[in-house]
Chain A
Amino acid sequence: MDSKVMLDIRNYSKSYGGDKKAADDVSLSVMSGDIYGFIGHNGAGKSTTIRAVVGVLDFTDGDIYIDGHSVKDEPMECKKITAYIPDNPDLYDNLTGIQYLNFVADVFGISASDRGERIKKYADLFEITDSLGDLIGSYSHGMKQKVAIISALIHDPKLLVLDEPFVGLDPKATFTLKEIMHEMCERGTAIFFSTHVLDVAEKLCNKVAIIKQGRIIASGTMEELTEGHSLEETFLEAENEQ
């Protein structure tokens, strides 16, 4: 399988007024088939970067390309091949789970048979099928997260962007999501996700970037970065060096 750059962040910066930058000259590339971990402290700039990647947050400096399309200039082209799972999914509480999934499937123009098959597959995997007829407002945080994940997988994206995807998931669902990520990666999907759980990142990712105060302080393949140490040690060392 030919590998190509699916996500290319070039000199991206974002400031919220004043001199302090939430993201400062961030550059990284995620290839198809990569599972790319994005790690850093709270407030390091992970979510800011992720929200800019998925076209939610505006930015002035640098550019972000998804499969060769600029997020700034061709946002629709980018969004059509990207799926985003936020850390705290704000879904429509007054829709049922199935109404929401159908809404997303309609947006992406998924045929009735494909969506039926995918929803069933993932809903069964996440053991949420029985609850799809209930209002999302009645769901727990984890259940909402599962619906958000299914909605992201429904259109078989080329780039999957996840912000702290394992927060709120039960152990079984965490395992299922990791399996799905592996399966997608084998099919050539690029996965870019932020996490605090370094053990997970170490086992799951082939590449990783460490961000501190908006700047990338280390990045590369897991082997290059850790050089035989654990990711936790590497992370703490990189943090201290800076």
Chain B
Amino acid sequence: MNSNNILLFKTLLLSTSQRNIFKYTTDKKKKKRIILAYVGLACLYAMLVGYSYLTTVGYGKFGLIGSAPALCALIISLLAFVFTFFKTNGYLFNFREYDMLMSLPFEASTVAACKFLYMYVKSLPYYLCISISVMVGYGKYAHPSVIVYPIWIILTPFIPIIPMLFSAFIGFLIARISSGFKKNNLIQTILTFAFVIFCFSLRYIIEYVFREDKLQETMDNLSQVTDDAASVYLPAKWFADSITKLGISDMLLLVGVSLVLFALIFRIVGRSYRNINSSLKSHAAAKNFRMTDQKKHSVEQAIAFKELKRLMGSTTYMVNGAMGEILAALLGIVTLIVGFDKIVAVVTQNAPFDYAMVYPAIPLIVYFFIGMVATTACSPSLEGRNYWIVQSLPITKTTLYKGKMLFNMYLSVPFMFFAILCLCISAKVSLIDMVLFLALGFVLCAFSTTWGCVCGIKHMRLDWENEVEVIKQGSAVAIYMFPNMFAVMILCVLVVIAGQYADQRVVTLVLILIAGLLSALSYKRAIKLAEKEG
């Protein structure tokens, strides 16, 4: 890297540094928010450390500690791949300061590479938390030689590079293909969805392909699975062998391949970088509008429509905000074709139990997807620089957030109903149960909407540089998502168990009441927060 590249990279980091804002801002509220964000981040890191360490301890207790390095590399690689894919579009392409950077004497490949490195450095602390915790657990149970520890620490930063590069390159290919179309944004969104869905179904495709090879037997052995996966995914093998066999060639391969791939990929990306951004940042003007009769809508409807256009106008927002809905719809369609019981059999790997036990959890299964992200959690922050528009309009904040909540209901309820109906038809659930499930689905959507709104208003952040910061990494989204997802998983188990001891319909009714109560409380809180805002 030459000095200009380092300078750009350092400036990119500084431009989003909370420490820099803390140092120079005179706004006490902002300072307080930054401290709270740091505390939240520390808690998240602590949770990650605890979870990773306990997982390794589990491996150690079952005598599988030899697989821990491979597992560590695989988990980090998978996380790096997935998270980079969702962020690539926002970070590498179509970013706000593109004009400013490209008008300065930087090579296009330098700008792209620095943007990638920025993404890498920002996510590195998470991977370090995982890796160091696993290393500590590994040290406790495997008692390796002392040299293993510095090797582990030195190699850790290289683990996420290759998967991140692949992920960014796929994002680049999607952007490259889309840039050739007039409606490039739409094509980019569709291709991104298609790739994500392909990744989700990959596990089942592999299982189907290898069924004859008795994959099922292999799946029974957790340690074997990890080792097998590591043998397929070479960087994980290189890391594991560097640790367990102290293989110098493996260390060199991991470092060398990472660096060569980095240089190669950004040489390729650099060639089309300006072309892609030119296309993504430009909009074709048809100039063929003819004035016709216009319709009047309520203020809430108008805001909901604005939210729809905001969602559809950004690939990053669309992919993150509507992914759950698309997956839920796909789940419904696949279930209709394959059959509910068969899907349960695949997921539970043919565990011997009565699949009817799972029926009461149908709305929760669908909600697991739909509740992943609520647009209300990020849309207040997404106003960003356009906040002045809603600030200057003669509407109260209550009306504004009601409109935002209305949009999330418009978005989530139809998908929720569609998926529940598909699952119910496939499982041959009775009509009364179906109605109850639809009612529960509706109330869950209401909860997702209102709880998302509470998080969105309370943790609103308008001074973002890149929308990914509030869509993917915002504290509002994290606070909304994590408890929500964990609660759903726990509820799924509880509902299945409760269904064995009580009437399943009563269990569903109780759930409707609880979710309804939580929605009402969240709604009240959201309105109160909105009123406080003015």
Interface, chain A (partner B; CB < 8 A) = 16-18, 20, 22, 43, 51, 54-59, 75-76, 79-80, 82, 84, 86, 89-96, 99, 103-104, 106-108, 133-135, 137-138
Contact = CB atoms under 8 A, between A and B. Distances in A.
Given A16-B285, A94-B17, A107 B4 contact: yes
Nearest to B16: A94
B465 to A, nearest CB: 7
A73 to B, nearest CB: 13
Given A43-B285, A76-B105, A79-B104, A90 B96 contact: yes
B463 interface: yes
B20 A95 contact: yes
Contacts of A79: 103-106
B24 A93 contact: no
B99 A133 contact: no
Contacts of A99: 14, 20
A7 to B, nearest CB: 14
A4 B244 CA distance: 68
Interface of B: 4, 7-8, 11, 14-17, 20-21, 24-26, 96-100, 102-108, 181-182, 274-275, 277-279, 282-287, 463, 465
B237 to A, nearest CB: 41
A36 to B, nearest CB: 18
A156 to B, nearest CB: 14
22 contacts: A16-B182, A16-B282, A17-B284, A22-B285, A54-B103, A55-B274, A56-B103, A57-B274, A58-B275, A75-B108, A84-B103, A86-B100, A90-B96, A91-B100, A93-B15, A94-B15, A94-B17, A94-B463, A95-B14, A99-B20, A107-B7, A133-B24
A78 to B, nearest CB: 9
Nearest to B97: A90
Contacts of A103: 7, 11
Given A43-B285, A91-B100, 4 more contacts: A16-B283, A94-B465, A96-B24, A104-B104
B98 A76 contact: no
Contacts of A17: 181-182, 284
B104 A20 contact: no
A135 B285 CA distance: 36
B38 to A, nearest CB: 16
Nearest 7 CB-CB pairs, A to B? A17-B182, A92-B15, A58-B278, A79-B105, A84-B103, A16-B284, A54-B103
B182 A51 contact: no
Contacts of B107: 75-76
Contact of A86 (B99, B106, B282, B285): B99
B20 A107 contact: no
Nearest to A51: B99
B15 A108 contact: no
Contacts of B105: 76, 79-80, 107-108
Contacts of B16: 94
Contacts of B24: 96, 133-135
Contact of B102 (A55, A80, A133): A55
A82 to B, nearest CB: 8
B97 A92 contact: yes
